Amino acid sequence: MGDNKVNIIKTGIGKKLILVEYPGLVKNDDKMIKTLGGLNKISRVFSNEKRRLELRYHPDNIYNKPAMGDSTTASGLFIKVKIKRPKDPNQGPMTHTVEILGKCAKKYHFNSLCDFQYLPLQKDPQTNKVSYIYDDIAPKNDCDIFCKPEAPLFCTPFVFTKNDTVNTKIHRSDKDQKHNLGNEDVIGIARTRTEGSEYVSFNLIDPFPEKPNPFIVKKLQIKYISDAQFEKVRQLFAECPIWNRIALIYESEVSNDKLKVILPSMAYYFTTGPWRTMYVRYGYDPRKDFQSRLYQTFDFRYRFKTGIGSLVKSRSEAISEVMKEDCSNSNDSLSQPKQNVFYPYFEEGQLPRSRQCIFRYCDLRIAKVQEMLKRVPSPASGAICNEKTGWLPSNFNDDCRQIISDQIMEHIKSMKQKAQIIIEDLNESRDVSENEDYEEEGIQEEFENEARTAEDQMDVTDELNLLLET
């Protein structure tokens, strides 16, 4: 500032203030505070970090939707600057007084949409005159709710938009979607898909893919995939035309990253229908083969009662438990049945790999289920599979779910009984060892008493011998 004098006042440097970035030109402080709900409501919002600050441009209108302000962390100082200019420039330089009012660590800003501000207006069809009917429809007290049956109808939706944040992303056109294989940042599905893969929605009319996408053939040349890994997966699809991912990883011993590159070159993926989430070999149509009923999707979701949820964990929890056991190398409680989260089959006397898991029906290695699959009657000539249930009866899925649920309950009960027997044996052995300790202590005390008595007798004998000698 050159020769100007600067005076800094630091009296308010320890005062904490909150910044509100008001989206408007403030000419009246009282009206501005009223649009934010008043001082009482503002203080309640400031005291709760999870609440949002509401801004109503028409606070007296109950049909007005507020704009929401979010809180974020901030760092800064609130300062007040006063400049004192002398009347005569020759008398001296200007004086600047900088006063620190406080420091800011939190602020509220309004980046959300204001949505639609609905005004209670009504148009007269005869005169075409629009009138403001707020006083006719807004109740002033409890009696007005029942005493105004002739009030005009005025209903507004609760919300007008699903989200109140601005979306700046650009949608991709259908033409670009065909040529660009997901390389651009666009709005799409929540779950990313492998580039070049064939994702098929099940239907009874359209043909299914016969060959892989040429893009995948080029990708195989770029990615490092060994011939042994590729041959293992190819041989599995030669033996069985339909697989799920976890079974392929288990049988081929190929990692998931490598399998993502190999699978699109050998099979297409069903997103809907009886074979949902399954990979089907190119050229194979499950709609024409009754044997494909063995590979239909069985989506198992166990509804746990109280207490069983702690025994059968979700997939993420089960994987974390496996990681903990690998790190600690410890065998914990005997009453906890183990889950093999990477095992693709379900057998008798075991728990499912997670609370929700997807099998093929051939993966259910239970005698009752396999017997039911064999007893499914062959379709008549010319019959086609159902779009929802495939080649199986409508109640087949429910019967299998009940069988597996009963198997899990029986397994958990047997494990609990075995654990209880082991615990009782341990308690009995502990009691026996304690009794033996007590008996050993008693014997030791008797031995010490006898030894003490013998010493006393020897002392008495020595004294008698001395007396006789004297």
The 8-class DSSP code of residue 293 comes to G
pTM above the 0.75 mark?
no
- Residue 117: what pLDDT? 67
- Residue 106, pLDDT > 80, answer yes
For the ranges 119-133, 139-153, 420-434, the one whose mean pLDDT is highest: 119-133
Evaluate whether 216 touches 265 at the Cβ level (below 8 Å): yes
Which helix (DSSP H) or strand (DSSP E) does residue 200 occupy?
strand 199-200
pLDDT tens digit sequence for 255-274: 888 888 888 888 999 999 99
Is 128 found in the same domain as 2? yes
Residue 335: helix, strand or coil by DSSP? coil
Q: Give a yes or no: residue 402 inside a domain.
A: no
CB 391 within 8 A of CB 330: no
CB atoms within 10 A of CB 97: 14
**Residue 3 is assigned to a structural domain of this protein:** yes
Tracing tokens 């949902």 back to the chain, one arrives at: 276
Higher-scoring residue by pLDDT: 381, 51: 51
- 144 and 75, same structural domain? yes
Integer Cα distance of 397 and 364 in angstroms: 12
Rounded Cα distance, 340 and 319, in Å:
9
- Whether 172 shows a pLDDT value over 80: the answer reads no
Residue 451 has pLDDT above 80, yes or no: no
Pair 153, 208 in one domain: no
**CA–CA distance, 86 with 399 (Å, rounded to integer):** 96
Residues 379, 385, 390: CA angle, nearest 5 degrees: 110
Given 134, 169, 204, which residue is the final one in a domain?
Answer: 169
Nearest to 281 by CA among 390, 203, 208: 208
CATH number of domain containing 79: 3.30.200.160
* Residue 365 near residue 406, CB atoms below 8 Å: no
Contact 244, 171 (CB under 8 A): no
The answer for 333, left when phi > 0, alpha when psi is -120 to 50, beta otherwise, is beta
**Would you say the C-alpha torsion 103, 106, 111, 112 has a positive or negative sign?**
negative
| Total number of domains in the chain | 2
Are 152 and 108 in a shared domain? yes
Confidence check: pLDDT of 180 > 60: no
pLDDT of residue 302: 72
- Quick one: 232 and 160 in the same domain? no
Q: Are residues 252 and 121 in the same domain?
A: no
What's the whole-number average pLDDT of the chain? Answer: 76
129 and 100 share one domain: yes
Distance CA 321, CA 427 (A): 28
Are residues 74 and 104 in contact, defined by beta-carbon separation less than 8 angstroms? yes
pLDDT of res. 279: 94
3-state secondary structure of 295: helix
Residue 274 · residue 386 · CB < 8 Å:
yes
Does 465 map to a domain? Answer: no
> Could you tell me if residue 314 is inside a domain?
no
Residue 226 domain flag: yes
For residues 404 and 410, give the distance between their C-alpha atoms in angstroms, rounded to a whole number.
10
Span of 108-122, 302-316, 439-453 with lowest mean pLDDT: 439-453
Residues 228 and 89 in one domain: no
Query: What is the predicted pLDDT for the residue at 306?
Result: 46
Smallest CA-to-CA distance from 202 within 255, 259, 277, 260 is with: 277
Tokens of 111: 């980046």
Whats the size of the chain, residue-wise? 470
153 & 30 share domain: yes
Same domain for 212 and 97, yes or no, is no
Assess if residue 87 is contained within a domain: yes
26 occurs within a structural domain: yes
In this structure, are 131 and 214 located in the same domain? no
Going by DSSP bridges, is the β-strand pair 297-301/242-243 parallel, antiparallel, or unpaired? unpaired
Range of the domain at 160: 1-169
Q: Does residue 271 lie in a domain region?
A: yes
Of 268, 288, 308, which marks where a domain is finished? 288
Section 13-35 average pLDDT: 89
Domain limit, last residue, from 243, 262, 288: 288
Q: What confidence tier does 66 reach under pLDDT thresholds 50, 70, 90?
A: confident
- Residues 202-216 pLDDT 10s: 988 888 988 888 777
- 201 in the same domain as 162: no
